[in-house]
Each structure stands twice: as structure tokens, then as C-alpha cells.
Amino acid sequence: MNDWSSIQGHEQIKNDLRQLLAEKRLPHALLFTGIEGIGKNLTAKVLAKVLLCSGEEKPCNICPSCRAFDAKNHPDFYYLEPEGKANNIKIEQIRQMQSQIALSPYLADKRVVIINDAETMNEAAENSLLKTLEEPTGDVVFILVTANKDLLLPTILSRCMKLYFAPLSEDEIKIILKSKYAVNEDKATVIAKLSGGSMKRAISFLDDDNFNLCQNAMDFLSKDLNAKDIWQISDEFSAMDKAKIKQWADFLQMIIRDLLLLQAGADDNLLYNRDKKDVLDKLIVNFSLNRLFNCQNLIENLVKRLSSNADLKLMMQDFMLSWREQK
């Protein structure tokens, strides 16, 4: 059941939204931004439920609107997310949404639209949405959710009230892991450290395969890549799901961050991989500060390209070749 109490952390954002609602100053378009898996989408859904609720204490969880929302069949709520092999939001989805919101609300006094992973809209979809944001029809609230707002058109950003969701604290991650997933204290502590403030990433660590990916990333950093390694690793990755490759890239970024902290002489408690401090100490001798920054840029570019339709094998070969050139 979605209500304000189901959102872990983000107290200031929850207070700000409740105040805007109480003062009837909520804008017609909002943009929730922050790293993946920290509660942006859940907060958007709770806000949508509140906006559609007809009870006095919102959400009341008992009115016809709340019951329809919880049953995922509310006629005045529209939810968009990436679809298809390209894993993006297409103009056809935007047009279908536009035709629906042009109608009068059926159960509530307004309509609410959530666009999750809004940065995946293709150019045509973005331009079509922009016209609706500029000239909204009826009482409609749009909530765009994104982990990368810089991929959205500046004109769309300018028409939204932006709310930044900070990463969750390690304690908040631990509380969720122990209460909702029955993870013991020791494992919850390790996972919370590795999560980087993302509950989505923390949950992924409950899968042993992801621990193996983490070790794979650590091993990769210790390799002195030759041509055979590049082709072999590229072949292995081209057979993997893009989500797994992104997870692997995330692990690489976390290790690079740890190495940067070691270069700066930071406290070991700040390390994501403090349980592997001995391995990090061996790795650091092979990475200058300049090389670390260059590698970080390569990983960020790889993550961006994973959202495209580029050939996966060629993409990984290009990444491996560029990685080998960093000395």
C-alpha cells in the first residue's frame, strides 16, 4: 500500500510536497531526479495517489480512488515507461497518453501522468510532450522521473519544478534490508556499503551472481589486456544482458572511486570495498590520478552507449581497446 510512510528517507522532499499540496501551489509539471533506485518512482506514485484521493487524510487508502490506484486500474492515472527492444519511450506512447488526458476525469477531479525513465524518450516523443507541457489540457499533473536529467531537452527541464533526491544513507539502506528482506546485520552492513545509496543496487546484491560480477570487475582492473583478452572478454559480454553489463560498469565505477579516495589519503571507512582493502592497495600502484579520471570517463561513456542501439560486441571491443590505451 503506497503512502508517505512507505518512502524511506527523503524527509525534506516529502515535507516540501505536502506543503505545496496544502497551499495548493503544486505546479502542473515536476521532475524527480537522482541516481537509480533511491525512491523517486515510489514517491511519484505516492504523490499521484494523494492527488487522486477523495478522502480528507490523503491518501486515505479507503476511498474508491485509492482502492482503484492500489489495484492498478485507476482510470485517471497514466503511467509511461520504456518499451520494446530499444527500451525507450516512443512518440506513439506519448500520443496515446495525450488522447487519454484530453478526456474529462472519470473517478477523480484531475488526471496524473508519471513518465518513468523519462530520459529514454526519443526525440519525437520529447518534442510531442513539450507541446503538452507548454499548453496542458484540463487539470493534469505530470511527474517526470529520471536518473539523468541532462539527457532531456532543456526546454522540457525549464517547464518542470525540479526535485533532487539524494542517495539514501547506509543506515537507511540497512533498515530496509533487515525489515523487508530479512537480511542479517553483517550482510546488511556490507551490502549497504556497496550500494552507493541506491536501494535498487542494494537489492541486486541479494543475488549471488552480482557478487560474482563485482569480483569480475575487480579482476578486470588487475588485467594487463592483450588482444586475446579483448576479443574474449568482448565475446563474453556481448552474450550478456545489458542490465548485467551496466551492473558490471557500476562496480567498476565504485572501485575507481575507491582508488581515487586512496590516492587522496581518505579514511578506509569511506571505501565501498573496504573488505577488499588489500586488493585495492595492490591495484593503486598501477593507476595514476590521470589514468583514474580517464577510466572513469570511459565507464560513463559505456553506460550512456548501453542505452543506444549500437552493436553490443563492437561497443565492448571499443571500450576494451580504449581501456588498454590508458597508461
pLDDT tens digit sequence for 185-228: 888 887 887 787 888 888 888 877 776 787 788 888 888 878 78
Same domain for 96 and 211?
no
Asked whether residue 119 falls in the same domain as residue 21, the answer is yes
**C-alpha angle 127/29/157, rounded to 5°?**
55
**Would 39 be classed as within a structural domain?**
yes
* DSSP summary character for residue 104: P
- The domain that contains 19 carries what CATH number? 3.40.50.300
- The domain tally of the chain equals 2
Most confident of 2-16, 186-200, 225-239: 2-16
Domain-located, residue 253: yes
Q: Which of 102, 129, 164 is the last residue of a domain?
A: 164
Is the pLDDT at 294 greater than 70? The verdict is yes
Residue 236 pLDDT > 80: yes
Flag whether 195 is in a domain: no
Residue where a domain terminates, one of 164, 196, 217: 164
Residue 178 lies in a domain: no
Evaluate if residue 126 carries a pLDDT over 90: yes
Rounded Cα–Cα distance for residues 251 and 230 (Å): 19
Q: Are residues 159 and 17 in the same domain?
A: yes
Domain-located, residue 112: yes
Give residue 145's pLDDT: 97
* Residue 171 maps to a domain: no
150, 10: one domain: yes
For residue 39, give the nearest of 216, 271, 195, 273 by alpha carbon. 195
pLDDT in the model for residue 214: 79
For residues 191 and 196, give the distance between their C-alpha atoms in angstroms, rounded to a whole number. Answer: 9
Residues 140, 18: one domain?
yes
Report pLDDT for 209.
75
Of the listed ranges 36-45, 151-160, 258-267, 291-300, the one predicted with least confidence: 258-267
Residues 159, 223: one domain?
no
Residue 282 and residue 145 share a domain: no
Between the alpha carbon of residue 217 and those of residues 95, 247, 250, 253, the distances in Å are 42, 10, 9, 9
254 and 147 within one domain: no
- Are 148 and 219 in a shared domain? no
Do 15 and 125 reside in the same domain of the chain?
yes
According to the model, what pLDDT value does residue 235 have?
Answer: 86
| 271 belongs to a structural domain | yes
In terms of domains, do 214 and 157 share one? Answer: no
User: Quick check: is 93 in a domain?
Assistant: yes
Predicted confidence (pLDDT) at residue 274 exceeds the cutoff of 80: no
Q: For residue 115, name the pLDDT band (cuts at 50, 70, 90).
A: very high
Tell me the average pLDDT of the chain.
88
Q: Are residues 99 and 241 in the same domain?
A: no
Whole-number Å distance between alpha carbons of 228 and 188: 39
Q: How many CA atoms lie within 13 A of 235 on its CB side?
A: 6
Note the residue count of the chain: 327
Domain boundary among 164, 199, 223: 164
Residue ranges making up the domain that contains 78: 4-164
Band of pLDDT at residue 51, cut at 50, 70 and 90? very high
Would you list the DSSP string of 64-82? HHHHHHHTT--TTEEEE--
